[in-house]
Amino acid sequence: MKNPYTVLGIDKSSSSSEIKKAYYAAAKKFHPDSSKEPNAREKFQEVQSAYEILSDPEKKQQFDQFGEAAFDPSGQAGGFHPGGTGGPFSGFGGAGGFSGFGGGPFGAEFSFEDLFNAATGNGGRRGSRGKSPFASEVLVGEDINVETTISFMDAAKGATKEMRFKALLSCNTCSGSGMKPGTSKKACGRCGGTGTRVHFMRGGFQMAATCESCGGNGLITPVGSECTTCHGHGVTKETRTVSIDIPAGVDDGMRLRVSDEGDAPPSSSAASESGTPPKTKRGDLFVHISVEPHPKFGRKGEDILYTSIIPLTTALLGGVVKIPTLDGEVDLRVPTGTNTGDRIVMSGMGMKKIGARRGAAGDLKIEFKVNMPK
Cβ–Cβ under 8 Å, residues 63 and 72: no
Its pTM stands at 0.56
pLDDT of residue 206: 63
pLDDT at 93: 36
Alpha helices in 233-321 (DSSP H): 312-317
Residue 253 gets the label, from left (phi > 0), alpha (psi -120 to 50) or beta, of left
Q: What is the DSSP string of 117-150?
A: HHHHT--TTS---S--TTS-SSEE---EEEEEEE
Residues 36, 74: Cα–Cα separation, whole Å: 25
Asked if residues 110 and 208 have their Cβ atoms less than 8 Å apart, the reply is: yes
Tell me the domains of the chain and their CATH numbers: 1-88 (1.10.287.110), 98-137+186-218 (no CATH), 144-185+221-291 (2.60.260.20), 298-371 (2.60.260.20)
Q: What is residue 78's predicted lDDT score, i.e. its pLDDT?
A: 42
What local confidence, expressed as pLDDT, does residue 211 receive?
A: 79
Q: What is the mean pLDDT of the chain?
A: 78
Sign of CA dihedral 35, 36, 37, 43: positive
| Model pLDDT, residue 88 | 40
Question: 141 and 262 in contact (C-beta within 8 Å)?
Answer: yes
In this structure, are residues 356 and 373 in contact, taking their beta carbons and an 8 Å threshold? no
- Whole-number pLDDT of residue 189: 79
Residue 51 pLDDT: 85
Residue closest to 147 by CA, chosen among 291, 284, 34: 291
Please give the pLDDT value at position 154.
96
User: Which residues in the chain show pLDDT less than 50?
Assistant: 73-124, 126-136, 271-277
User: What pLDDT is attached to residue 1?
Assistant: 67
Instruction: Summarize pLDDT for 278-320 with one digit per residue, the tens.
Output: 578 899 999 999 999 999 999 999 999 999 999 999 999 999 9
